């Protein structure tokens, strides 16, 4: 039986008050310069729309100086055991196209692999980072639920107190 490949070691592991893992943070090589000025948060999943959002943010970052690119990928809550085992692999796989694009452009990044409601976590992380803007694709990998209850992008646009760039 083949074991799953090992995920890289996260730079940071965050836990909530109940000691549940809620976020793993991975840095590019080389990592973002500290302190990173003008952080941009980019919501990522494996969709083409998310990759267009990353492309847009990368283009803007290349034109700016001291712009920090923070990728955020949110997985739904899993059991505690599944979280420890699955979050790194799922998040890194989902963010792989975005990471490859930024690595090819030689732009450093930081990936926040989070658990919970995607819109809530994206807004929370953007506020925590004091993001200059949130960049998000107009449609991700949502299901029919997105049509019935509203897309992640729609929720982020209406809940986020920071500027939101919606990329078609």
CATH number reported for the structural domain that contains residue 138 in this entry = 3.40.50.620
Residue 93 belongs to some domain of the structure: yes
Contact 79, 115 (CB under 8 A): no
Interval 23-50: pLDDT, tens: 999 999 887 776 567 899 999 998 888 9
Domain contains 81: yes
Q: What is the pLDDT of residue 32?
A: 75
In a domain, 4, yes or no: no
- Most confident range, picked from 50-59, 132-141, 145-154: 50-59
Question: Is pLDDT of 90 > 60?
Answer: yes
Domain with 137, as residue range(s), is 12-151+158-167
Determine which helix (DSSP H) or strand (DSSP E) holds 81, and give its type and residue range: helix 80-104
Average pLDDT of the segment spanning 108-112? 94
Res. 142: pLDDT tops 80: no
pLDDT of residue 3: 46
Q: Residue 115 CB: number of other CB atoms within 10 A?
A: 20
Strand partners, 43: 72
Q: How many domains does the chain have?
A: 1
**pLDDT over threshold 80, residue 111:** yes
pLDDT at 30: 80
Q: Residue 7: what pLDDT?
A: 62
> Would 61 be classed as within a structural domain?
yes
| Residue 140: predicted pLDDT | 54
Which pTM does this prediction carry? 0.87
Mean pLDDT rounded to a whole number for the chain: 85
> Per the domain annotation, does 80 fall within a domain?
yes
With b for 16 or more beta-carbon neighbours within 10 A and e for fewer, the 124-162 pattern comes to: bbbeebebbbbbbbebbebeeebeeeebbbbbbbeebee
Q: Kindly state whether residue 56 falls inside one of the protein's structural domains.
A: yes
Give the pLDDT score at 129.
Answer: 95
In a domain, 142, yes or no: yes
Does 2 map to a domain?
A: no
Instruction: Give the mean model confidence (pLDDT) for residues 49-78.
Output: 89
Q: How far apart are CA 79 and CA 50, in angstroms?
A: 27
**pLDDT at residue 1 in the model:** 42
């Amino acid at each position: 039986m083949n074991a799953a490949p090992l995920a890289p070691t996260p730079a940071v592991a965050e836990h909530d008050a109940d000691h549940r893992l809620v976020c793993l943070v991975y840095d590019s090589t080389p990592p973002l310069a500290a302190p990173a000025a003008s952080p941009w948060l980019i919501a990522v999943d494996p969709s083409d729309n998310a990759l267009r959002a990353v492309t847009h943010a990368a283009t803007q970052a290349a034109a700016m100086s001291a712009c920090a690119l923070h990728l955020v990928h949110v997985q739904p809550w899993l059991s505690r055991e599944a979280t420890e085992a699955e979050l790194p692999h799922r998040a890194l796989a989902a963010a792989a196209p975005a990471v490859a694009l930024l690595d090819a452009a030689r732009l450093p990044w930081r990936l926040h692999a989070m658990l919970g409601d995607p819109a809530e976590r994206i807004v929370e992380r953007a506020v925590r980072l004091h993001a200059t803007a949130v960049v998000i694709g107009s449609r991700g990998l949502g299901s029919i639920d997105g049509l019935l209850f509203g897309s992640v992008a729609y929720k982020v646009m209406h809940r986020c107190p920071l500027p939101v760039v919606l990329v078609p």
